[in-house]
Structure 1
Amino acid sequence: MNTKIYTGEIVFMCIGWSKADIKAAIEKEGWSLRQLSLSRGYCAGAMQSALHRPYPKAERIIAEVIGESPVNIWPERYGVDGKPNRRRGRPVRKPEL
């Protein structure tokens, strides 16, 4: 996935790893996504979820096994400063008038 990050006049192109590349790297280390999930106390599909949607804890576990930073694997999910691009908590509802 190509993501453009605009910082002033400079445009950075962020190309993250493909799902197949991530799975291959995990398997190269002797794990499957299911085994990795269960070994860390998560349900069987937890690590699989991180391939499709942001899941910070699972992203860190996968990155640790692969030996990379989550920012390098999923640059589109992180800002230039290395912090997640996602808001925490529930969205604030505006009161109805």
Structure 2
Amino acid sequence: MTIDHWTRVCRVDDIPALGSRVVVRESGNLALFRTQDDAVFALLDRCPHKGGPLSQGIVHGETVTCPLHGWQIALDTGTARAPDEGCARRFPVRVEGGDVYLDLS
């Protein structure tokens, strides 16, 4: 289902609390993250450091720690926490009635 340029991808409950779910795309998989407070974020499923799968990382607060080398990536911006530098592409997310929508444009 699409609303304007938003695409419904799942329900919030389909994403484990403090976990992630992968959205498979030809142009690169996305990782949807859910915080303890049910906030949902979407990043390209690639750490800016060595391309590790962020979806396999540990979510804490509004941060995910890459499983390969421990880089901490802010879920709201995709930016690596200092002293590391880099950025994972972020995608806008909207939650309505428990449904998660992504802006993939």
The TM-score normalised by the length of structure 1 is 0.28
- Relative CO higher for 1 or 2, CA cutoff 8 Å, sep ≥ 6? 2
Higher helix share: 1
In the superposition, the TM-score normalised over structure 2's length comes to 0.26
Greater per-residue strand proportion: 2
Q: Which has the larger radius of gyration?
A: 1
